[in-house]
Chain A
């Protein structure tokens, strides 16, 4: 019944395969998930949209200009300096450049995750007209927020490299651990991004609360201190914080030059994947309602 209708646009044979003979059936589905297979196929087919949207929003924030790039590097560098001095004063002893490198590496990783969230929280509510007028998997919107954060994170690597040299941090094959940890950070950021993006539709003041939440998260994560320095009575903070095991592993690899503790990796992965699955289920089961909620 859905035999491919031959269109008069035979000059574009590829299009015929890709778009024609597509039968869309829309049925009631207020709650619950759409068929996951087709959803993921649609998502993959439109992945370019997420890339383009991230490029466009970076352009809108002027990060394609020289000064924009400089600011992207300068901002985290200055923040690291401020926190370094602050911690030095509070502790009454200097942590030295090795601590500075730890602080910087973890702050950059933390900024990557929180940048995703800050972008994502407005991704759906800010996408108003597009959502009202085009049918596409809405999950592309928070996905593009994560892409924006990745694009902002990458240049910070070039700030870190000279600091790592100055601190003569250990250089070796253990650095390859950076890749799986970064992957887990992306998974974690994506999961949380989907949650906040969908929740913002229902609670428009979430964005305000998020700012406070992220600030508290910074102090509760092993960034301004090493995870090993956390006294036992506050140990639960490290267990309850999804970011803590990943940051601990991150610092182990980059700062101490050792392979990460498998327990940290396992905890981090468990947090990241649970939040990713929870976020995706929450978002996808809600997304068809967005058009009437905006």
Chain B
């Protein structure tokens, strides 16, 4: 069915020379009191963090781009920038289509609310209408297999259940562009199988996907292209196999014969 769709040739995601610098406060919680008390002492409690430095790439319509990199390389920042959550400090991001995000930091669920409330709120915030939500709700619950838990507060969920619901929400929104940040390995072995199959299905469909994962095998199996970020810079943009090889070599986890270490390759 994807062959029927018109690929207009323009990239779905175009990232041009994007840098993201943000200032974070060194105080745990900035307060008026401490600000007033610091007045006149010229003490800066703010540090600049350069999370991305002049990153450029494009993702064509219907392609899957894998993103690898060590912790703190700027992968999540990149995902947030593409999703429009963090503004770039320089450069330009152009995104054509509706984006659904599945980011690692808890997917926007509020643990005090029930699963149902979270799904509805998240969907509305993402711009769905109530009719669309009603249509998708059953699909989400069915995929997550959380029927009897939907009216319980999410703080009663196990982390596996939490991840399952998050994954179900993201893949059920039928977005044009799906951003997945380290969320493939949720749930038990059976659910992981199911979500991997679903991912493969989504990747095969006419959909543009950004996939961040430390599971290098998934990157190799699912992606058409891959980039490697290192300390905010783009180190490499190539075939997934080549990027994974260079990255594992860089990490020093591949042994002399370039046999990949099974631990880094697996969905751990």
Contact = CB atoms under 8 A, between A and B. Distances in A.
A292 B84 contact: no
B93 A25 contact: yes
A134 B97 contact: no
A24 B94 contact: yes
A236 interface: no
A91 interface: no
Contacts of A202: 30
Contacts of B198: none
B127 A56 contact: no
A134 B108 contact: yes
B7 interface: yes
Contacts of B103: 132-133
A19 interface: yes
A204 to B, nearest CB: 4
A50 B66 CA distance: 35
Interface residues of A, number: 52
A46 B174 contact: no
Contacts of B176: 5, 7, 19-20
Interface stretch (A27-35, A66-74, A109-117, A226-234): A27-35
Contacts of A209: 32
Interface residues of B, number: 63
B248 interface: no
B5 A8 contact: yes
Interface string B119-162: 01110111101101000000000000000000000000000000
B5 A27 contact: no
B124 A292 contact: no
B32 A20 contact: no
B262 to A, nearest CB: 32
B113 A60 contact: yes
B87 A2 contact: no
A292 B1 CA distance: 41
Given A7-B5, A20-B176, A134-B125, A56 B113 contact: yes
A177 to B, nearest CB: 35
Nearest to A56: B117
Given A129-B110, A132-B85, A25 B92 contact: yes
B251 interface: no
Interface of A: 1-3, 5-9, 12, 15, 18-30, 42, 45-46, 48-49, 52-53, 56, 59-60, 129-136, 140, 202-206, 209, 288, 291-293
